[in-house]
Amino acid sequence: MAQLVRRFNQDGLLAVAGRHGGGSAIQYGPAKQERILQEFRRPPDREQDGTAVWSLSTLQQALREAPDGLPTVSTFTILQTLHQAGYSWQGNRTWRHTGRALRKRKRKDGSTEVVEVTDPQAVEKRELSSKRIREQRARASRFGTRMKRGLTRRSLNQELPGSPKGSRPGNRTNTSGVGPLSC
């Protein structure tokens, strides 16, 4: 508590703002993340990059080989940076901003044009979808077996007279019988 008061006296309200919580030092700050986004926004050259559309591995290779690039960047870091910038991998193997899509529209004269359509509620839908997945994982069993919720009933034949379990005498190896153990 004393450290917090000391930081508050030195830094003001910045003392209570979120900071790095420990672990490894942050390697890719805002400047390096902007470098990743700059390379991502550049259309790939088929001759130089060997691809027409960026994938994580081809973007990683381009960043590692660039003279001002990032020689040790991982695909995980690239993916985190792209997600934070609002991009997601689409089914047609392209990266797009979340909530934006290209659609073909017919004009009155019969020709077609490509229009970018924006969903203003995309962020809320994405958060709701992620919340559902987290809830499903929390309910799932560790071993993959799903159990129905409800009341459990005791078996009827556990302690009935004449049942095999109730008629066995108790001894050192069998403790299911009735009566105290004798040592």
Q: 23 is written with which tokens?
A: 């672990």
> Domain residues of the chain, as ranges?
26-139
Q: CA-based Rg of the chain, rounded to a whole angstrom?
A: 31
Question: Is the predicted pLDDT of residue 37 greater than 90, yes or no?
Answer: yes
Query: What pLDDT is recorded for position 39?
Result: 93
Backbone angles phi and psi of 106, in degrees to 5: -90, 140
Q: How far is CA 49 from the centre of its chain?
A: 29
How far is residue 107's CA from residue 126's CA, in Å, rounded to a whole number? 32
Q: What's this model's pTM, rounded to 2 decimal places?
A: 0.47
Residue 53 — very low, low, confident or very high, per pLDDT cuts 50/70/90?
confident
How far is residue 101's CA from residue 88's CA, in Å, rounded to a whole number? 11
